[in-house]
Amino acid sequence: MLSLVTSHRGPTDTESAESTAAALESLLEQVAAGDQQAFGELYDRTASRVLGLVKRVLVDHAQSEEVTQEIFLEIWRTAPKFEAMRGSAMSWILTMTHRRAVDRVRSSQSGHDRDERIGIRDIEPAYDHVAESVEIRIEHERVKRAMAQLTDFQREAISLAYYGGYSHTEIAGILAIPVGTVKTRLRDGMIRLRDALGVAS
Amino acid sequence: MTDRTHGDDVDPRLLSGAYALDATSAEEAERFERAASASDSLRDEAEELRETASRLGLAAQPVTPSERMRAELMAKLATTPQLARTSTADAPTDAPTPAPDARTAPAVQPTVAPAVIAPDAAPADVDAPLVAVGPAERRAAQRWYTRPAAILAAAAAAAALFVGGGLVGSALNGSGSSVATDASASGLAAIAAAGDTQRSTVPLAGGGTATVVWSAELGRSAVLADGLPTLPDGKVYEAWYIDSSGATPAGTFTAAGSGTSWHVLNGTMAAGDAVGVTVEPAGGSPAPTTDPILVVQAA
């Protein structure tokens, strides 16, 4: 029997920061100071996310690993430029990740593979039923739910841009619509997504 | 088709979505960044949409890199110089153009001077744990044993978790299901996206598993369970934050018919709190009335 009395607690006490594992932000701070061990920990905690996103865009595994390595060297190199005021460490890392993946897809042969494999697709990836951690599935669910609040046109444009790595001009070509329309769909869609996901600055 | 007319955009704001998704040309991106640096509202929008885009990134299926890659990467650090730290806009700047070196040492004492990496550093030695919870976890565990005898059973269950997972709780079955709300999912996503997310997974007596995820930074936690049995009518699951003074109700929930059930706990998680779940009469109880089906020491 858990016969306990209800208690009321005050606001978060100051101990919590001290007793927690290092946040990514403080790891980045250490990395910025040249701490290689902190970098190793940062890598261990984010590499599968980074590679996952790169591979989503590039598909080819060997090439994705190569790009992932470049990304982590860039993280090492540019960590001193990270500004915690400007957003989370994870967002900073994934922003860099996506940009690098897109640069690669646009500058290489993989663009052709991409054209063959994509067509127009949904954000639904083929999920391995086993290996998936609960949190990832939830995150995926959450994004899927938010994506469901977009119009079909917005969703299509955002998926092509983010997961396909296509530029607005390419998307305009694929969908046979004006670039201005693509830009509008991307912006309106992202704003709606932002609101659905509760992202605020 | 009237594409390739993107040169005629008067308002750079129209590009914010494409920019956040890396769907602009390099020139447009530059133009947008210039515009954003001159406008607070445009910069805010750009940052929010970037953050939003990174949620799309988090939803991609993670892929574990090869061991070789880590080793290669660590070996390259020694020969990869880092950029000099710039003074942040928010830092109190007495001099408008601070000397780069004068600003490189904030609160944290660098173990290695920036940009001067010891060439003989042995990267292979670096083997940081995935989550550095050792001492804090031990402290938390010790705290358990100083608590009132009434929660010793729960403490034992929690202790079992530290040594690799133990069986807690009693079998439950019945019917009735519900779907987690969007608000709950939103909270869960926030926890999953936090920089300090930790988790602990325990098997449930019914055959499934339950995972408690938490972020001390956010002071929030959630319980996720695969194969959580649905309860008979009139019964609900109730979550608790448990500390030395007792258990604080943290909301009730029901099992999803299939797949994953989850519940983001109400209230704030404090350092040293444990998260527990009991079965209670519909509407919940002010204090637990049954043995917990799971207890996880968090924070």
More confident residue, B178 or B53: B53
Residue of B nearest to A59 (CA): B63
pLDDT for the residue numbered A5: 34
The answer for B 161-180 residues in CB contact with A (under 8 A) is: none
Work out the angle between the directed axes of helices A179-197 and A134-147 (0-180°, nearest 10): 130
- What are B213-246's pLDDT values in tens digits? 888 888 888 888 877 888 888 899 999 998 877 8
pLDDT for the residue numbered A158: 95
pLDDT at residue B41 greater than cutoff 80: yes
- What are B185-211's pLDDT values in tens digits? 566 667 766 677 777 777 777 677 788
Name the strand (E) or helix (H) holding B210.
strand B209-215
The answer for A 70-99 residues in CB contact with B (under 8 A) is: 72-73, 76-81, 83, 85-91, 94-95, 97-99
Q: What is residue A52's three-state secondary structure?
A: helix
Most confident region among A17-21, B133-137, B180-184 by mean pLDDT: B180-184
Measure CA A138 to chain center. 15
pLDDT for the residue numbered A135: 61
* Chain B residues near residue A68 by CB distance under 8 angstroms: 65, 69
Give how far Cα B186 sits from Cα of A148, B47, B246, Å: 15, 19, 28
Q: Look at B153 and A2 and tell me if their CB atoms are within 8 Å.
A: yes
Averaged confidence pLDDT in chain B: 67
Q: Look at A186 and B116 and tell me if their CB atoms are within 8 Å.
A: no
pLDDT for the residue numbered B95: 36
- What are B72-97's pLDDT values in tens digits? 999 888 888 888 876 544 443 333 33
pLDDT at residue B101 greater than cutoff 90: no
More confident residue, A39 or A3: A39
The answer for B 77-116 residues in CB contact with A (under 8 A) is: 77, 80-86, 88-90, 104-106, 108-116
Give percent of chain A with pLDDT exceeding 90: 54
Pairing of strands B246-253, B220-226: unpaired
Average pLDDT for A59-73: 93
The alpha carbon of residue B97 is apart from the nearest alpha carbon of chain A, in Å, by: 16
* Chain A residues near residue B197 by CB distance under 8 angstroms: 135
The C-alpha atoms of residue B61 and residue B50 are separated, in whole angstroms, by 19
More confident residue, A125 or B274: B274
Q: Look at A2 and B112 and tell me if their CB atoms are within 8 Å.
A: no
Query: Which letter, b or e, does each residue of B167-205 get, where b requires 16 or more Cβ atoms within 10 Å of its Cβ?
Result: ebbeebeeeeeeebeeebbbbbbbbbbbbbbbbbbbbbe
Give percent of chain B with pLDDT exceeding 70: 58
Average pLDDT for B60-73: 90
- Residue A11 tokens read as 């606001």
Name the strand (E) or helix (H) holding B240.
strand B235-243
* Chain A residues near residue B32 by CB distance under 8 angstroms: none
pLDDT at residue A183 greater than cutoff 70: yes
Mutation target among A183, A188, A191, A192 for the B interface, most CBs of B within 10 A: A183
Measuring CA to CA, which residue among A147, A22, A14 is closest to residue B129?
A22
Residue of A nearest to B288 (CA): A2
Q: Look at B62 and A49 and tell me if their CB atoms are within 8 Å.
A: yes
pLDDT band at A22 (very low <50, low <70, confident <90, very high): low
More confident residue, B199 or A30: A30
ipTM score: 0.81
More confident residue, A34 or B205: A34
Q: Look at A123 and B63 and tell me if their CB atoms are within 8 Å.
A: no
Domain chopping of chain B, boundaries: 9-57, 68-81+98-127, 134-297
Give how far Cα B220 sits from Cα of A28, B105, B216, B226, Å: 23, 32, 7, 20
pLDDT band at B150 (very low <50, low <70, confident <90, very high): very low
Averaged confidence pLDDT in chain A: 79
The alpha carbon of residue B173 is apart from the nearest alpha carbon of chain A, in Å, by: 20
The answer for A 3-42 residues in CB contact with B (under 8 A) is: 3-9, 11-13, 15-26, 29-30, 32-41
**Domains in chain A, please, with CATH?**
23-116 (1.10.1740.10), 132-201 (1.10.10.10)
Q: Is A106 on the interface with B (CB under 8 A)?
A: no
Kindly report the pTM of this predicted structure: 0.54
The alpha carbon of residue A132 is apart from the nearest alpha carbon of chain B, in Å, by: 8
Question: What are the residues whose beta carbons fall under 8 Å from the beta carbon of B70, sequence distance 6 or more?
Answer: A40, A43, A44, A47
- What are B42-62's pLDDT values in tens digits? 999 999 999 999 999 988 888
DSSP B28-62: HHHHHHHHHHT-HHHHHHHHHHHHHHHHHHHTSPP
Q: CB–CB of B235/B170 below 8 Å?
A: no
- What are A112-122's pLDDT values in tens digits? 455 544 544 44
pLDDT at residue B254 greater than cutoff 90: no
Q: CB–CB of A164/A59 below 8 Å?
A: no
DSSP A71-140: HHHHHHHHGGG--GGGS-HHHHHHHHHHHHHHHHHHHSTHHHHHHHHHSS--S-----TTT--HHHHHHH
What values do phi and psi take at B111, rounded to 5? -80, -30
pLDDT for the residue numbered B200: 79
pLDDT band at A76 (very low <50, low <70, confident <90, very high): very high
Residue of B nearest to A49 (CA): B62
The answer for B 255-284 residues in CB contact with A (under 8 A) is: 260, 262, 267-272, 276, 278
Say how many CA atoms lie within 13 Å of B18 toward its Cβ.
Answer: 31
Mutation target among A36, A54, A81, A151 for the B interface, most CBs of B within 10 A: A36
- What are B4-35's pLDDT values in tens digits? 444 444 688 999 999 999 999 999 999 999 99
Least-confidence region, from A50-54, A128-132, B192-196: A128-132
pLDDT for the residue numbered A73: 95
**Of A32, A40, A73, which is closest to B127 when you measure between CB atoms?**
A40
Q: Look at B17 and A13 and tell me if their CB atoms are within 8 Å.
A: no
Q: Look at A198 and B186 and tell me if their CB atoms are within 8 Å.
A: yes
Q: Is B219 on the interface with A (CB under 8 A)?
A: yes
Q: Look at B243 and A9 and tell me if their CB atoms are within 8 Å.
A: yes
More confident residue, B202 or B130: B202
Average pLDDT for B262-281: 87
pLDDT for the residue numbered A77: 94
- What are A89-117's pLDDT values in tens digits? 999 999 999 999 999 988 865 554 555 44
* Chain A residues near residue B258 by CB distance under 8 angstroms: none
Any idea what DSSP says for residue B214? E
